[in-house]
Amino acid sequence: MGWMADETGLGKTPANYVPLTPLSHLRRAAHVFADHTAVVYGAHRVTYAQYHDRCTRLASAMAAMGVAPGDVVATLIPNLPAQAEAHFGVPACGAVLNTINMRLDVDTVAYIFDHGEAKVVLVDTQFLPLAEAAIAAMDGPAPQIVEVPDAAAGFPASGKYPEYEDVLARADPVFDWIMPEDEWESLSLNYTSGTTGRPKGVVAHHRGSYLMTMGTVVSWRMVLHPVFMAIVPLFHCNGWNHTWMMPLIGGTLVCCRDITASAIYNAIADEGVTHFGGAPIVLNMIVNADAVDRRDFAHTVEVFTAGAPPAPATLAKIEALGFNVTQVYGLTETYGHVTECLWKREWDSVEDKAAIKARQGVAFPMMEDITVMDADMTQVHMDATTQGEIMIRGNSVMKGYLKNPEATADAFAGGYFHSGDIAVQHPDGYIQIADRAKDIIISGGENISSVEVEGVLMAHPDVNLAAVVAKPDDKWGEVPCAFVELKPGTQPSEADLIAFSRETLAGFKAPKQVVFQELPKTSTGKIQKFELRKLAKTL
């Protein structure tokens, strides 16, 4: 058409263009759903008007502590109300939210503090020792600590730091939210699992998260006032953006400190939970729950699961209990789920439904294109056999890696995000992962780098070579299994090496089994991990 804004007056104005941000959802909900229950955790029950007030006070408090727009505020908190409030309160003062995995080791948390340059860190009392040790190990300026006690769970305040509730009480309740002037502004900073050394800082933007919330409502077939249980850790892709989504539809967020079968069943029966996301380990927990932990409920609970595909037997059992499971797929770099195994009616009569449900599926509606390509970035044959790499394009892809332009350029080469995951495509276009290019082990929803574990084992004075692969596990989905060649004349035990690795690694990363043998190698000396994977399945 050739229309130009300066010639026709068809330009952007405050009346017709507002930067997209999930902050808008809570600002609206504070009025539209003012008296509806927003957040539940034990005796803590707040309405949307109260939720908005608490997030406003947090934003005010952060600004008063010297946090400026663009600064980073970190958290070390389980899925509790303060963690949910940080998702709105931190960006409402213009800052960037960095939710940190509390299961990480001290050295990695110190690196994240340094690399992200956090100005403040909100810390649950249980994890104060981790935060303090990490700060002591930092090279740069330390973040200020605000303590978030949870006395009801056995973690009363230490008295050493300003307490979260006191900080909110003293804050300005009429603080003016600092909304993004540009929807490309950074909203959150999440760190990968460090697949090749140090973790990378994934920077997400307001636009992508806003569209993520919209797309998820469509794909999950949500209506007003769902009751959502926060099981996916909010340090994992910000809980797949679900906390930002709840105010959009006046949902109730049910928080949970410790994820157990009884906690899940009680929340469904007592609070009427209708939706939650979780790794396959959560499904196993529900299926294998003791009779004393189970509760009856009359409605169907919708579940998103991601990570290692759940076992067909688990899917069959859990659906008989009243849960409808949808397999989704995504990465930290895509804010969480970006593909779904969208169910087709013609599959209702298929005998092996679980095999179909294990597929990663097709793109969510907010994504532009997700497909499988070969090394030349050419579409693979959709024959369910030809392998390639999952390539992703769309608005819910990260801005890039913080302070790492080379890795960012590599990840975006050719105009797509390179997932590093190897997959096939079925004739209908549905994607199914065949392998993981980076040898990632997914244990209980946590990503573990085999390279990192191998590096620790190789530091043992008696170890000559080490290779770590995933071993199938009924509880965790996968666990690290180490194959080790020892130096001549040495005899460390399996327990010795596991204990040694736990001195450096977070507990979930340490190998659960160590096998002593000569490692299979190619003629050039490369370890043949595919042979070890086969062997691990028989152990």
- Within a domain: residue 56? no
Cα separation, 461 vs 392, in Å, equals: 43
- Within a domain: residue 119? no
- Within a domain: residue 3? no
- pLDDT tier at 322 (50, 70, 90 boundaries)? very high
Taking only the tens place, the pLDDT of each residue in 220-248 is: 999 999 999 999 999 999 999 999 999 99
Q: Which of 47-61, 333-347, 457-471 has the lowest mean pLDDT?
A: 457-471
- Within a domain: residue 250? no
- Within a domain: residue 134? no
Q: Work out the average pLDDT over 45-73.
A: 98
Cα separation, 501 vs 506, in Å, equals: 9
Q: Work out the average pLDDT over 126-155.
A: 97
Give pTM, 2 decimals.
0.85
Report the b/e string of 7-40 with b at 16+ CB within 10 A: eeeeeeeeeeeebbbbbbbbbebbeebeebbbbb
Cα separation, 251 vs 48, in Å, equals: 10
**Domain ranges, residue 523:** 442-536
> For residue 521, what are the contacts with CB-CB under 8 A and spacing of at least 6?
527, 528
Taking only the tens place, the pLDDT of each residue in 467-490 is: 899 999 988 889 999 999 898 899
Cα separation, 507 vs 500, in Å, equals: 11
- Within a domain: residue 527? yes
- pLDDT tier at 1 (50, 70, 90 boundaries)? very low
Give phi and psi for 415, each to the nearest 5.
Answer: 85, 10
- Within a domain: residue 516? yes
Q: Work out the average pLDDT over 54-73.
A: 98
Residue type, 409: A
Q: Work out the average pLDDT over 101-112.
A: 93
Q: What's the pLDDT at 76?
A: 98
Q: What's the pLDDT at 443?
A: 86
- pLDDT tier at 195 (50, 70, 90 boundaries)? very low
- Return the biggest CA–CA distance within the chain: 84
Taking only the tens place, the pLDDT of each residue in 118-132 is: 999 999 999 999 999
Q: What's the pLDDT at 502?
A: 92
- Within a domain: residue 492? yes
Taking only the tens place, the pLDDT of each residue in 389-427 is: 999 999 999 999 999 999 999 999 999 999 988 889 999
Strand ranges (DSSP E) for 149-306? 186-191, 201-205, 227-229, 252-254, 275-278, 301-305
Give the total number of structural domains in the chain: 1
Cα separation, 168 vs 408, in Å, equals: 38
CATH code of residue 483:
3.30.300.30
Q: What's the pLDDT at 475?
A: 87
Q: Work out the average pLDDT over 139-166.
A: 97
Share of the chain above pLDDT 90, in %: 75
Cβ–Cβ < 8 Å for 486, 492: yes
> For residue 464, what are the contacts with CB-CB under 8 A and spacing of at least 6?
484, 485, 486, 487
Q: What's the pLDDT at 488?
A: 83
